[in-house]
């Protein structure tokens, strides 16, 4: 992608001939090794069972069904996200849709609703005997289509992940050269033909990039399929880990299968990203003339409004309704639960930031293969679904570190593994913006290497470090499967509390924690946006 | 949906607090001098343990060993709490914690089968987390016991349970629950209800008139029992005939009872206490319970507890289990959860038969842990997706 190219360019510009110190390399390697531990544990565990046993499991269990279900879900979610995200992007960028700015913001906002909270509210509204069903029963509608299963899962995932496609497509549309369309028009192409032959190829890489993000999300999401009762890898791994009479090694086998599918998606992403990076970042282009919607204005607005109602109106409306309906009970919410969430998320943010500093510093200053490798290894968390990290850490602790089993440090470590890439990413791009000559100057003025770092580099990268820490903090707050698998007994967090009351059906009790998590999500979006601006 | 459930419960519990003093007018003095028992700092009294409403009023004071006669609970205790009857079990734990200021219980609430699985995994890796496993069904207790993860209980604790079907060396029953047929009394008379589960799958008056909750754990226990009694093929046959009757699907057995009450269906399959919740909520509700005889639909299961091998505080754990078999705790489970009590001297609530009057099938409750084949069968027949 363009980002890697830009990084390389920046690196060439700022890195002198001098390689960073040996100690930095060791530190970075140590961090990389540490966060790779869970995956190593998973592989060790799986190899304990032997290949024959695992292959036997594939045939003897329903794991093929799970694979098929997961792929079918990914297909529909990806398709749905394209069908929702691309039109919204085209409408808000290239047409005279009334209130385009407004719709742009609205279309991006569903990203701030954690998908499991979205699913939870959808079940409450549209589930059997849900609020909507009750309302319709009054007017004589006996049954509404069941929300559970594939279509419910796909619907919810599309509604809360289409913004990935929307945002990447929008970026592609904004940056592509509008004069090309005009050229096509002068060559007597109709508007539609010009769109098909010029616009589509130009924005396709952007669409694909977003679609792959959505696919990856659909594959790794745990909460939505669990709530919607659809059997996919994440949900099955969790169930298999906790059910009676499940064959030995089944959770490990499913985890490996899921990782294999993730690897395929990532490989696709790097290929597509690599081949076409040039086409959708051409800059300084002019916008083509806006398409006049004419009579299509009304259906276009209806489409935007329908998406907004489903993806924002339903979840926020239901949460507000729970809040109002719970009355006094709302205040029975135990603040200790929020305090627990806060503590582990702060610990994760601090630990991830401390670990990100050597990795990012090394990666930004070194061109060696080794630095690329350590940098890449810390990205494990982006690729590995939370439920797999949870399972892997359960294995790791029960087999090699019993004293860590279901302790707060292990839970924090899970968050660090999962979200370290966010910290590394933001810190690295800030380090790249610091001119190494400044540190050199400090060194020639007699500062020690650490002194130079503290006096010169650190103040300059502080905003990036803070943004990275904030992101780790906010995403740790809402991580679901790792929290459920690894929390110590009696240690309740906002997330595990929501999960518990959801299971018990006391929806009103979930109102406050769910609203807090939506707020936390919104804040992390703000941090990301601010950070992007900072990076220019 | 379940919103209404919790509201009902809340209203019910609130009513319990208010009405308990009236209910207790004649029998104070079990714990200290009775009193209002409303303030959080006060030592709870029988009034706090006991439920309320028409079903409960006029009950005699419970017999059996009172909490007062048991040694004090003192120290930290970790409890794996299975299911928990919509929060009722944690209420009981809270009451005990209020009764003993130096007793600090921590509970982790998850479905019983999940906890059973965790306990065995933790036992095998030497990372036991909890002291007590309090489960809503005997199957998961059996699973834990069979895997060696529990320790022997003392004779004193085991002998507190009156019926030896519900106690082993390693776990004791705390609250009996029977499978039952909740039926709408406007639609059926008492004598209309067959005593065999097969009749519901064959007679035309039950076609399009039954309800079940196939995703519900208790339903899976029922089908598992049937598999033990008549084999997989026989069970498949019954399920297929039942499907031909086109039963309405619900996501919980509480919903089944609710739909029986409002006449949406004539009868259903469920645990006995859901119908009692309807009656407690509205004494005139047109719902009653029928029990089949000697088949899976009359299965009597029990919630129970055991002490875990590797518990940090096994003595406290055992004493806690003994407290759950005290007169007050059993009265709590009988009057608030409508369970069949496990000790002599505490009677089931209102119209319920005693547990001895039921005709459950001859089945080792330990066999109920074999749930995986049941789920596969249900999927195979097309009941579960």
The 3-state secondary structure of A221-236 reads CCHHHHHCCCCCHHHH
User: How far apart are alpha carbons B51 and A108 in whole angstroms?
Assistant: 51
Q: Residues of B with CB below 8 A from A402's CB? A: 125-127
Q: Residues of A with CB below 8 A from B118's CB? A: 242
Percentage of residues in chain B having pLDDT higher than 90: 61
Q: Residues of B with CB below 8 A from A245's CB? A: 369-372
User: How far apart are alpha carbons A211 and B200 in whole angstroms?
Assistant: 51
Beta bridge partners of residue B182, listed in sequence order: B289
Note whether A229 contacts B125, CB cutoff 8 Å.
Answer: no
pLDDT at residue B228 greater than cutoff 60: yes
Note whether B109 contacts A500, CB cutoff 8 Å.
Answer: yes
- Residue in chain B lying closest to A321 (CA): B3
Residues of chain A short of pLDDT 70, as ranges, are: 1-20, 128-146, 273-289, 329-331, 533-536
User: How far apart are alpha carbons B370 and B141 in whole angstroms?
Assistant: 12
Instruction: Give Cα B223 to chain centroid, integer Å.
Output: 17
- Of A403, A242, A341, A389, nearest to B129 by C-alpha is A403
Pair of tokens at residue A238: 């969790």
Minimal C-alpha gap between A429 and chain B (Å)? 42
Rounded to the nearest 5 degrees, what angle is found at the Cα of B22, between the Cα atoms of B19 and B28?
A: 120
Note whether A398 contacts B251, CB cutoff 8 Å.
Answer: no
User: How far apart are alpha carbons B179 and A449 in whole angstroms?
Assistant: 74
Selected for mutation to probe chain B from A64, A248, A334, A504 (highest B CB count within 10 Å) is A504
DSSP letters for A99-110: THHHHHHHHHGG
Global pTM reads 0.84
pLDDT at position B85: 59
Minimal C-alpha gap between A506 and chain B (Å)? 6
Say yes or no: ipTM exceeds 0.85: no
Pair of tokens at residue A303: 């489409």
**CB pairs < 8 Å spanning A and B:** 99
* Nearest CB neighbour to A246, from listed B125, B252, B372: B372
Note whether B369 contacts A244, CB cutoff 8 Å.
Answer: yes
Q: What is the pLDDT of residues A424-482, one digit of tens each?
A: 988 988 888 888 788 888 888 888 878 888 888 888 889 889 999 999 999 999 999 99
Selected for mutation to probe chain A from B88, B91, B108 (highest A CB count within 10 Å) is B108
The mean pLDDT of B83-110, rounded to a whole number, is 87
User: How far apart are alpha carbons B366 and B361 in whole angstroms?
Assistant: 14
Instruction: Give Cα A99 to chain centroid, integer Å.
Output: 29
pLDDT at position A354: 95
The mean pLDDT of B246-267, rounded to a whole number, is 92
Minimal C-alpha gap between A241 and chain B (Å)? 8
* Nearest CB neighbour to B3, from listed A128, A405, A508: A508
Pair of tokens at residue A418: 């999962």
Minimal C-alpha gap between B63 and chain A (Å)? 33
pLDDT at position B30: 34
Note whether A242 contacts B87, CB cutoff 8 Å.
Answer: no
Q: Which 374-413 residues of chain A touch chain B by CB within 8 A? A: 397-399, 402, 405-406
pLDDT at position A3: 54
User: How far apart are alpha carbons A270 and A265 in whole angstroms?
Assistant: 9
A127 inside 8 A of chain B by CB: yes
Selected for mutation to probe chain B from A505, A509, A510 (highest B CB count within 10 Å) is A505
- Of B88, B213, B80, nearest to B140 by C-alpha is B80
Q: Residues of A with CB below 8 A from B107's CB? A: 490
DSSP A453: I
Minimal C-alpha gap between A121 and chain B (Å)? 11
Q: Where are the alpha helices (DSSP H) in B165-216?
A: 197-202
- Of B81, B59, B52, nearest to B336 by C-alpha is B52
Q: Residues of B with CB below 8 A from A130's CB? A: 1
What region does B35 belong to: left with phi over 0, alpha with psi -120 to 50, or beta?
left
Helix (H) / strand (E) element for A157: namely helix A150-175
Note whether B372 contacts A245, CB cutoff 8 Å.
Answer: yes
- Of A206, A212, A221, nearest to A267 by C-alpha is A212
A244 inside 8 A of chain B by CB: yes
* Cα dihedral A308, A310, A313, A319 in deg (nearest 10): -140
Helix (DSSP H) and strand (DSSP E) numbers for chain B: 13, 10
- Of A63, A38, A89, A87, nearest to A392 by C-alpha is A38
pLDDT at position A326: 74
The 3-state secondary structure of B252-265 reads CHHHHHHHHHCCCC
User: How far apart are alpha carbons A303 and A189 in whole angstroms?
Assistant: 27
Minimal C-alpha gap between B115 and chain A (Å)? 7
A497 inside 8 A of chain B by CB: no
User: How far apart are alpha carbons B289 and B273 in whole angstroms?
Assistant: 9
Note whether A398 contacts B125, CB cutoff 8 Å.
Answer: yes
Helix (H) / strand (E) element for A284: namely none
A334 inside 8 A of chain B by CB: no
Note whether A402 contacts B125, CB cutoff 8 Å.
Answer: yes
Relative to beta strand B267-268, strand B210-212 is parallel
Up-side HSE of residue B98: CA atoms within 13 Å toward CB? 18
Q: Residues of B with CB below 8 A from A325's CB? A: 3
A505 inside 8 A of chain B by CB: yes
Higher pLDDT, B5 or B67: B67
Q: Residues of A with CB below 8 A from B110's CB? A: 242
Q: Residues of B with CB below 8 A from A231's CB? A: 385
pLDDT at position B9: 29
């Amino acid at each position: 992608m363009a980002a890697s190219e830009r990084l390389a360019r920046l690196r060439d510009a700022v890195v002198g001939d001098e390689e960073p110190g040996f100690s930095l390399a060791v530190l970075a390697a140590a961090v990389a090794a540490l966060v790779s531990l869970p995956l190593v544990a998973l592989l060790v565990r799986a190899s304990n069972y032997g290949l024959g046993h695992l292959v036997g499991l594939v045939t003897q269990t329903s794991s093929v069904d799970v694979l098929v279900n997961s792929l079918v879900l990914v297909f529909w979610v990806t398709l749905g996200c394209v069908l929702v995200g691309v039109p919204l992007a085209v409408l808000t960028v290239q047409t005279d849709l009334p209130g385009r700015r407004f719709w742009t913001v609205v279309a991006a906002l569903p990203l701030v609703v954690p998908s499991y909270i979205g699913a939870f509210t959808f079940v409450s509204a549209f589930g059997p005997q849900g609020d909507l069903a009750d309302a319709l029963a009054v007017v004589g509608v006996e049954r509404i289509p069941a929300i559970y299963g594939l279509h419910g899962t796909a619907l919810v995932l599309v509604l809360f992940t289409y913004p990935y496609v929307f945002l990447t497509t929008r970026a592609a549309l904004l940056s592509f050269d509008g004069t090309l369309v005009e050229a096509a028009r002068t060559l007597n192409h109709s508007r539609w033909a010009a769109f098909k032959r010029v616009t589509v190829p130009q924005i396709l890489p952007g669409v694909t990039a977003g679609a792959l993000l959505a696919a990856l999300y659909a594959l790794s999401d745990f909460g939505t399929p669990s709530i919607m009762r659809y059997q996919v890898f994440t949900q099955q791994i969790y169930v298999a880990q906790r059910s009676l009479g499940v064959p030995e090694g089944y959770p490990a086998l499913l985890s490996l299968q899921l990782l294999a599918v993730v690897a395929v998606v990532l490989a696709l992403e790097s290929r597509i990203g690599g081949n076409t990076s040039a086409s959708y970042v051409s800059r300084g282009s002019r916008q083509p003339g806006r398409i006049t919607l004419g009579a299509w204005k009304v259906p276009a607005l209806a489409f935007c409004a329908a998406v907004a109602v489903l993806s924002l109106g339903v979840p926020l409306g239901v949460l507000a309704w729970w809040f109002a309906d719970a009355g006094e009970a709302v205040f029975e919410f135990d603040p200790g639960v929020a305090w627990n969430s806060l503590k582990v998320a702060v610990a994760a943010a601090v630990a991830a930031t401390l670990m990100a500093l050597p990795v990012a510093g090394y990666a930004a200053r070194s061109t060696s293969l080794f630095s690329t490798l350590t940098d890449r290894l810390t990205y494990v968390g982006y690729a590995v679904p939370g439920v797999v990290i949870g399972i892997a850490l359960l294995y790791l602790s029960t087999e090699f570190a019993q004293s860590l089993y279901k302790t707060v440090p292990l839970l924090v470590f899970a968050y660090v593994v999962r979200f370290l890439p966010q910290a590394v990413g933001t810190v690295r791009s800030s380090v790249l913006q610091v001119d190494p000559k400044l540190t050199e100057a400090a060194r020639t003025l007699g500062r020690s290497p650490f002194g130079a770092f503290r006096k010169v580099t650190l103040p300059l990268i502080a905003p990036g470090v803070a943004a990275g820490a904030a992101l780790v903090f906010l995403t740790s707050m809402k991580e679901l499967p790792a929290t459920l698998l690894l929390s110590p007994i009696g240690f309740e967090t906002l997330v595990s509390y929501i999960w518990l009351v959801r299971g018990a059906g006391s929806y009103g009790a979930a109102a406050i924690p769910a609203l807090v998590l939506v707020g936390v999500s919104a804040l992390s979006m703000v941090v990301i946006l601010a950070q992007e601006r900072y990076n220019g | 949906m379940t919103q209404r459930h919790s509201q009902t419960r809340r209203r019910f519990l609130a009513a319990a607090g208010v009405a308990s003093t009236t209910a207790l007018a004649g029998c104070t003095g079990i714990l200290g001098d009775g009193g209002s028992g409303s303030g959080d700092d006060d030592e709870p009294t029988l009034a706090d343990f006991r439920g309320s409403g028409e079903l409960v009023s006029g009950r005699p004071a419970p017999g059996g060993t009172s909490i007062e006669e048991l040694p004090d609970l003192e120290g930290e205790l970790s409890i794996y709490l299975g299911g928990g009857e919509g929060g009722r079990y944690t209420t009981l734990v809270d009451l005990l914690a209020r009764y003993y200021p130096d007793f600090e219980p921590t509970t982790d609430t998850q479905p019983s089968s999940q906890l059973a699985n965790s306990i065995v995994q933790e036992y095998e890796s030497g990372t036991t987390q909890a002291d007590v496993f309090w489960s809503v069904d005997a199957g998961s207790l059996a699973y834990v016991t069979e895997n060696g993860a529990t320790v022997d209980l003392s004779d004193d604790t085991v002998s507190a349970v009156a019926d030896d079907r519900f106690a082993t060396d390693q776990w004791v029953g705390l609250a009996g629950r029977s499978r039952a047929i909740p039926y709408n009394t406007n639609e059926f008379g008492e004598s209309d209800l067959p005593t065999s589960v097969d009749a519901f799958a064959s007679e035309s008056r039950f076609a399009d008139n039954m309800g079940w909750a196939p995703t519900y754990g208790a339903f899976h226990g029922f089908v598992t029992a049937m598999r033990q009694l008549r084999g997989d093929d026989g069970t498949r046959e019954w399920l297929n005939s039942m499907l031909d009757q086109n039963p309405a699907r619900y996501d919980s057995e509480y919903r089944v009872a609710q739909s029986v009450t409002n006449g949406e269906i004539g009868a259903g399959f469920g645990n006995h206490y859901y119908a009692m919740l309807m009656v407690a909520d509205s004494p005139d509700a047109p719902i009653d319970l029928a029990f089949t005889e000697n088949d899976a639909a009359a299965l009597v299961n029990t919630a129970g507890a055991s002490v875990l091998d590797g518990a940090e505080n096994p003595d406290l754990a055992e004493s806690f289990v003994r407290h759950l078999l005290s007169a007050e705790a059993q009265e709590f489970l009988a009057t608030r959860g409508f369970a069949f009590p496990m000790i002599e001297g505490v009677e089931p609530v209102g119209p319920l038969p005693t547990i001895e009057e039921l005709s459950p099938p001859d089945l080792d409750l330990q066999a109920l842990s074999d749930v995986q084949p049941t789920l596969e069968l249900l999927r195979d027949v097309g009941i579960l997706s």
